[in-house]
Amino acid sequence: MSDTAPVSPGPQARPSGSWLRRAFDRPNVLGPLLAAPAALILLLLLAYPLVLGIWLSLSNAVLGGTPKFVGLANYIQLFHDSTYREAVFYSFFYTICSEGLKLSLGLGLALLLNRRFRGYRLARAIMLLPWVAPTVLSALAWGWLLNPQFSAISWLLMKLGLIHQYIDFLGQIWPARISLIVINMWRGIPYFAMGYLAGLTAIPASLIEAAQIDGAGSWTIFRRITWPLLLPVTTILLSFSTIWTVTDFQLIWTMTRGGPLNATQVFTTLAYQRAINGGSLGQGAAIAISVIPIMLILAIVALRTTREGK
Amino acid sequence: MSDISRRALLQMTAAGALAAGAGIGPVFAEAYKPMLPIEKGASLQLLRWTGFIDADDKQWKANTEAFTKATGVNVTIQDVSWTDIQAKSGLSAQIGSGPDVVMGFYDTPFIYPDKLVDVSDVCTYLEKKYDGFYDVAKSYGYDDKTKTWIAVPMGGPGACVTYRESWLKEAGFDSFPTDFDGMLKAARALKKNNHPIGLALGHAVGDANAWVHTVLWGFGGKQVDENNKVVINSKETHEALKYAKALYETMIPGTGSWLDVNNNQAFLAGQISMTINGISIWYVAKQKFPEMFPDIRTAPVPVGPVGHPTNFNLFSQAFIFKYSKYPNAAKEYLRFMNEAPQVAPWVTGMVGYVTPALKAYSKLPIWTENPNITPYRDVLVGNYADGYAGSPGRAAATALNDFIVVNMFADACAHGASPEDAAKRAEEKLKQIYNA
């Protein structure tokens, strides 16, 4: 054993080793260095396409052509385009209805699954299935369930004597619009439920117990304790889910392609139709970019709603 | 036939057809002499639609292997769903990279004509040798502005009437009517016997577009005139919509949501007595529905008041991008694949699913082998191009992709609009597109 005790470096001690090691020891070097790959990916995969999209929307770009700047011409044209107006309407309707239903039913499901009962773990796992199934597969399965000739739902209702002919779920304007909202809701509820479940488990049990001792009922506990504490989770869940719903493409394209008429046309399907199939890149980009202000408005509304709740 | 006699064609194609039956490559490969100097070390990538019938893919690959054997040019085939071709080729046009050759649909080449290799030499050779292209084929490949061929017309997966013979006879008809009036009478009689017909009115790219355009043109209606002026809101269109509405009354409920696959499913499930479709229903029934198969018949699509066929079929042409390093090899490939020793086994193998664009191939023996195949031989006669009577291009493509005509018919048939209102709405939308 050595008789010299180890000496810990004092506050004035300089880092030893190569210049590289010394540089890595400095937070103002290491921090940006670690963030660089993620920043680069964001720049390449998000910022660049966004800027390119904005530029294309201000040009007369066509597939394979050389774009020329045309200012706001594409946006002015969209303003007069009745198909675009139909897409705007249904995008809003689809998103607001889907999000409202997903939020309330997801919260209900989470409250239900937050209780300990026999097989609750299995129930939680099953609940996730609609969320993890690939969208196209879900759409195909729903396509059969809502098929005007082979619908299992119609068949069951017929057997129960509740209807006299198969329901035309996707061939009529409002049934088609509502059907797609129901499917989107079915897919999205597990996401909300899982998020809320995590939020619920984070609420200290002592708070609930204290309220119970004070004589608060279930509704009061939910209104005064549970919901306010879930608001931060709600903001996150709602923001992400809204973005996914507004940009939903696969479900609608697989099931209706925007039909019947243009009743289920949304931003993404119309942008694809115009830019890729029709070759009008500029107009397609304008449709896609026009979503951004709407998304911002939705985000502000969501944030304000949750803040006001506080 | 001008340069090739029927006997010569039969001799040339018999070997190919036999080869197809035996499952081996065509014999023509051995004697093939390229027309153009093929680039050294050339290899090609082809973007092609997955065959609607499995024999289509199989024989296309066999023909491609024969080309490789004859020229040393390796060809990689990328099969995608036919509805995805437009997106993928559009992307290639935009970024200047991707497949050398694309087999597209409708007027896709006219969306980016500047990006495509002039294939006039191949087309001139083929039309001279094989009795010329059908008019519709020319309109999908020949650019009138530059007076050049920008795509090699391949052929059309044609649509004909497919019906249940026993049910039609029960309804009092010995054969399927040949005009619109007769079709409506037959449809009403079939409906009365609880055997409705079924025609797609959803956003079905192939099936919905096919029958509604046929009815529109059959009454003399059209979306634009020769100068691309919107003329859809006409007396002829109103008459077409009235007729379609009457026909719709005889259909099975729910056709308003039908996509391309629905009429096949409903027919093969015995739920509808008649539809308008490719030969795939008959072909699938032959393989998988032996009880129903003997009762299935096909017939040409009836003719409207204009007195001549007004067909609208899917149509495929092949084009070469200018970024290809091997344009000569690509041209040779398209020439080779359109020669009789290749076309004969291809068309024979898929029982005429694709009707070739060259008129000489109407004499292939397969067309008369079975009376149910024969109607598909003539689908390109009296076939108009999309955007008729205007010129092909971006506006016509947008109108087709926006389902303007399909929606107009759906509006009048399934959603309660009067013919006048439906035509007016379509007119507004078309003006937005054509005047943009």
Contact across the interface for B86 and A276, Cβ inside 8 Å: yes
The CATH number for A299's domain is 1.10.3720.10
Task: Provide the edge-to-edge strand list for the sheet that holds B274-277.
Answer: B274-277, B160-164, B296-299
B167 and B125 inside one domain: no
Residue of B nearest to A165 (CA): B253
| Model pLDDT for residues B182-217, shown as the tens digit of each residue | 999 999 999 999 999 999 999 999 999 999 999 999
Q: Which residues of A touch B425 (CB under 8 A)?
A: 82
Say whether the ipTM exceeds 0.95: no
Contact across the interface for A279 and B87, Cβ inside 8 Å: no
Q: Establish if A85 belongs to a structural domain.
A: yes
Q: How many angstroms separate the CA atoms of B159 and B380, rounded?
A: 10
Least CB-CB distance to A64: which of B114, B401, B429?
B114
Mean pLDDT, chain A, rounded, equals 87
Q: Which residues of A touch B112 (CB under 8 A)?
A: 62-65, 279
Q: Establish if B383 belongs to a structural domain.
A: no
Q: Establish if B1 belongs to a structural domain.
A: no
What percent of chain A lies above the pLDDT cut of 70? 92
> What confidence score (pLDDT) does residue A57 get?
95
Phi and psi at residue B275, in whole multiples of 5°? -150, 180
Least CB-CB distance to B253: which of A165, A173, A277?
A165
> What confidence score (pLDDT) does residue A284 get?
94
| Model pLDDT for residues B74-99, shown as the tens digit of each residue | 999 999 988 889 888 988 998 899 99
Residue B357 has pLDDT above 90, yes or no: yes
Q: Which residues of A touch B83 (CB under 8 A)?
A: none
Q: Could you tell me the two tokens for B179?
A: 């005009």
Q: What is the CA radius of gyration of chain B?
A: 22
Within 10 angstroms of residue A1's Cβ, the number of other Cβ atoms is 3
Mean pLDDT of A229-237: 89
B131 and B149 inside one domain: yes
3-state secondary structure of A181: helix
Domain that holds residue A128: 73-309
Q: Which residues of A touch B394 (CB under 8 A)?
A: 62, 278-280
Q: How many folded domains does chain B comprise?
A: 2
Q: Establish if B390 belongs to a structural domain.
A: no
Q: How many folded domains does chain A comprise?
A: 2
- What are the C-alpha distances in Å from B338 to residues A134, A140, B342? 41, 37, 7
A217 and A123 inside one domain: yes
Query: What are B155's strand-pairing partners?
Result: B316, B356
Q: How many helices (DSSP H) and strands (DSSP E) are in chain B? A: 18, 11
| Model pLDDT for residues A177-186, shown as the tens digit of each residue | 999 999 999 9
Q: Establish if B173 belongs to a structural domain.
A: yes
A259 and A202 inside one domain: yes
Shortest Cα–Cα distance, A277 to chain B (Å): 6
Which of B366 and A114 is assigned the larger pLDDT? Answer: B366
B86 and B68 inside one domain: yes
Query: What are B153's strand-pairing partners?
Result: B317
> What confidence score (pLDDT) does residue A235 get?
86
B133 and B164 inside one domain: no
Shortest Cα–Cα distance, B116 to chain A (Å): 10
> What confidence score (pLDDT) does residue B21 get?
42
Q: Which residues of B touch A279 (CB under 8 A)?
A: 90, 111-112, 394, 397-398
A91 and A124 inside one domain: yes
Shortest Cα–Cα distance, B319 to chain A (Å): 14
Q: Mark out chain B residues that contact chain A at CB-CB < 8 A.
A: 86-87, 90-91, 93-94, 111-112, 114-115, 201-203, 252-259, 262, 265-266, 269, 271, 394, 397-398, 401-403, 407, 410-411, 414-415, 425, 428-429, 432, 436
Contact across the interface for B256 and A171, Cβ inside 8 Å: yes
Angle between helical axes of B207-218 and B404-414 (0-180°, round to 10): 80
Mean pLDDT of B56-62: 93
A53 and A77 inside one domain: no
Mean pLDDT of A154-175: 93
A250 and A170 inside one domain: yes
Q: Which residues of A touch B402 (CB under 8 A)?
A: 83, 273-274, 278
Mean pLDDT of B13-29: 46
Mean pLDDT of B222-226: 96
A229 and A292 inside one domain: yes
| Model pLDDT for residues B291-337, shown as the tens digit of each residue | 999 999 999 999 999 999 999 999 999 999 999 999 999 999 999 99
Contact across the interface for A256 and B256, Cβ inside 8 Å: no
Q: How many angstroms separate the CA atoms of B171 and A155, rounded?
A: 29
Shortest Cα–Cα distance, B356 to chain A (Å): 25
Contact across the interface for A64 and B111, Cβ inside 8 Å: yes
Mean pLDDT of B108-113: 90
A34 and A170 inside one domain: no
A193 and A52 inside one domain: no
Least CB-CB distance to A173: which of B111, B262, B415?
B415
B96 and B174 inside one domain: no
Residue B27 has pLDDT above 50, yes or no: no
| Model pLDDT for residues A78-123, shown as the tens digit of each residue | 988 889 999 999 999 999 999 999 999 999 999 998 888 888 888 8
Q: Which residues of B touch A283 (CB under 8 A)?
A: 436
Residue A221 has pLDDT above 50, yes or no: yes
> What confidence score (pLDDT) does residue B419 get?
97
The CATH number for B291's domain is 3.40.190.10
> What confidence score (pLDDT) does residue A12 get?
52
Q: Establish if B382 belongs to a structural domain.
A: no
> What confidence score (pLDDT) does residue B91 get?
87
Q: Which amino acid is at B436?
A: A
B112 and B64 inside one domain: yes
> What confidence score (pLDDT) does residue A102 get?
96
A29 and A164 inside one domain: no
3-state secondary structure of B290: coil
DSSP assignment letter at B292: T
Least CB-CB distance to A82: which of B115, B428, B436?
B428
Please answer whether residues B73 and B333 qualify as being in contact, where contact means their C-beta atoms are separated by less than 8 angstroms: yes
A141 alpha carbon, distance to own chain's centre: 22
> What confidence score (pLDDT) does residue A308 get?
59
Contact across the interface for A273 and B253, Cβ inside 8 Å: no
B271 and B214 inside one domain: yes
List the Cα angle B75/B76/B78 in 5-degree steps: 140
B187 and B152 inside one domain: no
Q: Establish if A196 belongs to a structural domain.
A: yes
Residue B117 has pLDDT above 60, yes or no: yes
Q: Which residues of B touch A276 (CB under 8 A)?
A: 86-87, 90-91
B177 and B266 inside one domain: yes
Residue B51 has pLDDT above 50, yes or no: yes
- What are the C-alpha distances in Å from B197 to residues A261, B204, B218, B294? 21, 17, 20, 19
A162 and A49 inside one domain: no
Q: How many angstroms separate the CA atoms of B263 and B274, rounded?
A: 9
What percent of chain A lies above the pLDDT cut of 90? 53
DSSP track, B259-275: -TTHHHHHHHTT--SEE
Query: What are B274's strand-pairing partners?
Result: B163
Q: Establish if B10 belongs to a structural domain.
A: yes
Least CB-CB distance to A256: which of B253, B255, B257?
B257
| Model pLDDT for residues A185-203, shown as the tens digit of each residue | 999 999 999 999 999 988 9
Mean pLDDT of B404-417: 95
A121 and A164 inside one domain: yes
Mean pLDDT, chain B, rounded, equals 91
- pLDDT-based confidence at residue B389 (cuts at 50, 70, 90): very high
Q: Establish if A64 belongs to a structural domain.
A: no
Mean pLDDT of A156-160: 94
A160 and A189 inside one domain: yes
Contact across the interface for A168 and B86, Cβ inside 8 Å: no
Q: Establish if B303 belongs to a structural domain.
A: yes
Residue A65 has pLDDT above 80, yes or no: no
- pLDDT-based confidence at residue B23 (cuts at 50, 70, 90): very low
Which of A257, A264, A272, A274 is the best substitution to test chain B (most B C-beta atoms within 10 A)? A257
Contact across the interface for B257 and A259, Cβ inside 8 Å: yes
B28 and B152 inside one domain: yes
Mean pLDDT of A138-155: 92
- The answer for residues whose C-beta is within 8 angstroms of residue B298's C-beta and 6 or more apart is B160, B161, B162, B163, B279, B282, B372, B373, B375, B376
CA atoms within 13 A on the CB side of A156: 5
Domain that holds residue B358: 6-157+313-377
Please answer whether residues B277 and B218 qualify as being in contact, where contact means their C-beta atoms are separated by less than 8 angstroms: no
3-state secondary structure of B194: coil
Q: Which residues of B touch A277 (CB under 8 A)?
A: 86-87, 90, 397, 401
Q: Establish if A63 belongs to a structural domain.
A: no
